[in-house]
Amino acid sequence: MMRTHYSKILKIGLVVFLLAAFIFPSQSQAAWLFGNKNKQKSNQEQKSNNSEGKNQGENKNSNGGFCARINDIKILDKIAERESKIDSRRDNRQDNFTEKMQTRDENRLKNRLEWDANREAQFKKLEETAKTEVQKEAVAEFKSAVLAAISARRTAIDSAISTFRTEVKNAQDSRKSSVNSVFSSYKNAISVALEKAKSDCEDGVEPSTVKTTFQASVKEARDKTVNDRKSIDKIKTTIDSLIASKKQAIEKAIANFKTAMEIARTKLKAAFTTTNTTE
């Protein structure tokens, strides 16, 4: 009987304890019951703070970074580098052109000397063929006419070549001056835009506004440069025209030479024919 009563008391005490523990949890129990939830909330708050700080940092870099980096902008150095490459290509083309012209001059002189030597040999044979005074005079006249015709042809050809080269150089110099002027204007526009950006930064203008204004100025300068370069006459068209003029002048010189030679041969042939008939 007492054993049964004691068992009931124990059961009642256990129930009371459990109710008290549930209603009034201890610190460790509260941590066990609510700790994970509080930890998750803390992590979320930390992530939110980190994200906000990151965004603020990005905004600061995107806005203030341009003014901080403005002295590191190397756009003028890039323009100077491009100009240097253009000058180098010009020099190479000019050197190749000069070398090619020198080679042609040397070959032309060499050929003329060989032709002169062969011609003298032909004159000598012709003089040996002349027996009478009429024939000798005809040979002398023929020789004089041939030399005059050759001299006129060479003078005309040399003049055509010289004119061609002079005009080519003038065209190259003119285009070079125009291109240099375009680049100079471009550099000046970029310099002005860069100095304005620096001044705006020093005056406290919003960096994002400074950046936008600078980029717009650079784009405007580039677009103008592209259009200005397109408006420059293409040197190939000029060169082609000069080549055609040179060819025409040389062809005319050769045609005049052939006409003079035909007249000289006709007279020489007539002199020898008349002499032979008389004999």
pLDDT given for residue 74 in this prediction = 87
Query: Which are the contacts of 141, defined by CB distance < 8 A and separation ≥ 6?
Result: 264, 267, 268
DSSP letters spanning 145-200: HHHHHHHHHHHHHHHHHHHHHHHHHHHHHHHHHHHHHHHHHHHHHHHHHHHHHHHH
Is the distance from CB of 133 to CB of 278 less than 8 angstroms? no
How many Cβ atoms from other residues are within 10 Å of residue 201's Cβ?
A: 20
DSSP letters spanning 88-126: HHHHHHHHHHHHHHHHHHHHHHHHHHHHHHHHHHHHHHH
Tell me which residue of 202, 223, 201, 203 sits closest to 214, measured CA to CA: 201
- pLDDT digits 0-9 by tens, 4-58: 444 554 455 554 444 444 444 444 443 433 344 444 444 554 554 454 444 444 4
- What tens-digit pLDDT sequence spans the chain (279 residues)? 444 444 554 455 554 444 444 444 444 443 433 344 444 444 554 554 454 444 444 444 444 588 988 888 888 888 888 888 988 998 998 899 899 999 999 999 999 999 999 999 999 999 999 989 999 999 999 999 999 999 999 999 999 999 999 999 999 899 889 989 998 999 999 999 999 999 999 999 999 999 999 999 999 999 999 999 888 878 888 999 999 999 999 999 999 999 999 999 999 999 888 655 545
- Using alpha carbons, list the distances in angstroms from residue 242 to 2, 156, 158, 217, 238: 136, 16, 15, 40, 6
Query: Which are the contacts of 145, defined by CB distance < 8 A and separation ≥ 6?
Result: 260, 261, 263, 264, 267
Is the distance from CB of 160 to CB of 246 less than 8 angstroms? yes
The CA-based angle 249-167-161, given to 5 degrees, is: 40
How many Cβ atoms from other residues are within 10 Å of residue 245's Cβ?
A: 14
The whole model's pTM is what? 0.66
Is the distance from CB of 70 to CB of 202 less than 8 angstroms? no
Tell me which residue of 272, 263, 270, 248 sits closest to 148, measured CA to CA: 263
Give the CA-trace dihedral at 215, 221, 224, 225, to 10 degrees: -120
